[in-house]
């Protein structure tokens, strides 16, 4: 079966291009999967951490409001407590609706339970059930319940921070896996290029050199070139045409002698 020289070379380069395209496509797909899966998780962890910080701020403001009321600044203290309660509710709603970690729901339930107790103690101040300046009651009730709920919120933050660290490490490991097809493609392309160069040299350059040497050393007394081209392509065609030309020339000279 005859195959043109152009087709052989084109087929080699097309195979090289196909190899690079497949590897590039696989790398892009891996990066997209990695980006979509981990980015969403990290964003949710970040939102939970930010909301947890707002919860802690609201708790601290509420605690400050109680202290102001115990010090006699009841209007200002009540205003701070009411504002802090709204801020807490908004931030807690965000945390409650983003549950992505194992046992995270238990953490949120614990925060909610401890906050209910803390809020119940604060209500006693709001409804004038505690005497002004009663710091013993503050230490035993408010500060203790405030510390417990704040600690529970901190545990939730640490859970999400640890998860973000793990996901970042996972991202790093998976990014290495994602670029592996590209590395394999580059190495494969280099090896294939070397092989392609070898075959071009063996099947194209060497036959052409052999043909050129045969033409250079051609003896007019002979009726054909001694190039011995074994391929079935344009180089073989050139050899055949040169031999045909020699045959015609020999025939022409023989006719001229008659």
Of the listed ranges 1-15, 45-59, 160-174, the least confidently predicted one is 1-15
Mean pLDDT of 54-79: 92
Where does the pLDDT of residue 111 fall: very low under 50, low under 70, confident under 90, or very high at 90 and above?
Answer: very high
Q: Which residue has the higher pLDDT, 94 or 133?
A: 94
In this prediction, residue 175 carries a pLDDT of 64
User: In terms of domains, do 115 and 12 share one?
Assistant: yes
Query: What one-character DSSP code corresponds to residue 95?
Result: H
The verdict on 176 and 240 lying in the same domain is: no
Residues 73 and 176 in one domain: yes
**Is the pLDDT confidence value at 52 over 80?**
yes
Task: Tell whether 151 and 223 lie within a shared domain.
Answer: no
Query: Could you tell me if 223 and 132 lie in one domain?
Result: no
Q: By CB neighbour count within 10 A (0-12 exposed, 13-18 middle, 19+ buried), where does 201 fall?
A: exposed
Q: Among residues 111, 184, 217, which one has the least CA distance to residue 227? A: 217
End-to-end CA distance of the chain: 42
DSSP string covering 2-13, please? Answer: ---HHHHHHHHH
**207 in Cβ contact with 242 (< 8 Å):** no
Average pLDDT over residues 104-130: 90
185 and 12 Cβ atoms separated by less than 8 Å: no
The pLDDT value recorded for residue 87 is 95
- In this prediction, residue 238 carries a pLDDT of 78
pLDDT band at 3 (very low <50, low <70, confident <90, very high): low
Tokens of 134: 């009663």
pLDDT at residue 217, rounded to an integer: 75
pTM > 0.75: no
Give the pLDDT band (50/70/90) at residue 2. very low
179 contact partners, CB below 8 Å, separation of at least 6: 27
Say whether both 179 and 116 belong to one domain.
yes
149 inside domain: yes
Is 196 inside a domain boundary?
no
pLDDT tens digits, 184-236:
767 777 777 777 777 777 777 777 777 777 777 777 676 666 677 777 767 77
* Distance set, CA 183 to CA 20, 23, 199, 232 (Å): 10, 9, 24, 37
Query: DSSP readout, 45-77?
Result: HHHHHHHHHHHHHHHHHHHHHHHHHHTT-HHHH
Residue 245 belongs to domain spanning: 217-257
Quote the CA–CA distance of 45 and 94 in Å, as a whole number. 11
Q: What is the pLDDT of residue 65?
A: 93
Given its phi and psi angles, is residue 237 left (phi above 0), alpha (psi -120 to 50 degrees) or beta?
alpha
Residues 186 and 224 in one domain: no
Weakest mean pLDDT among 73-87, 114-128, 239-253 = 239-253
Query: Looking at the structure, do residues 141 and 222 belong to the same domain, yes or no?
Result: no
pLDDT: which is higher, 250 or 141: 141
Of residues 228, 59, 253, the one with CA closest to residue 143: 59
pLDDT of residue 6: 60
Number of folded domains that form the chain: 2
Distance CA(65)–CA(60), nearest Å, equals 9
Residue with tokens 């998976």: 174
Is the pLDDT higher at 115 or at 216? 115
């Amino acid at each position: 079966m005859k195959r043109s020289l152009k087709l052989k070379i084109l087929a080699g380069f097309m195979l090289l291009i196909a190899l690079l395209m497949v590897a590039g496509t696989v790398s892009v797909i891996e990066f997209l999967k990695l980006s979509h899966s981990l980015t969403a998780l990290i964003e949710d962890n970040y939102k939970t951490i930010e909301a947890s910080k707002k919860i802690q701020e609201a708790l601290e403001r509420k605690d400050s409001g109680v202290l102001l009321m115990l010090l006699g600044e009841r209007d200002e203290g009540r205003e701070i407590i009411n504002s802090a309660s709204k801020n807490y509710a908004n931030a807690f709603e965000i945390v409650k609706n983003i549950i992505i970690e194992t046992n995270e729901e238990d953490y949120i339930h614990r925060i909610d339970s401890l906050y209910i107790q803390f809020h119940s103690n604060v209500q006693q101040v709001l409804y004038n059930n505690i005497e002004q300046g009663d710091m013993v009651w503050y230490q035993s009730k408010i500060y203790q319940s405030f510390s417990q709920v704040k600690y529970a919120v901190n545990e939730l933050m640490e859970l999400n921070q640890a998860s973000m660290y793990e996901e970042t490490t996972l991202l790093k490991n998976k990014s290495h896996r994602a670029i592996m097809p590209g590395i394999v493609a580059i190495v494969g392309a280099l090896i294939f290029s070397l092989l392609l160069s070898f075959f071009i040299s063996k099947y194209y350059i060497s036959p052409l050199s052999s043909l050129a040497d045969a033409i250079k050393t051609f003896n007019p007394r002979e009726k054909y070139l001694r190039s011995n081209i074994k391929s079935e392509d344009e180089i073989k065609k050139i050899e055949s045409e040169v031999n045909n030309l020699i045959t015609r020339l020999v025939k022409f000279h023989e006719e001229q002698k008659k």
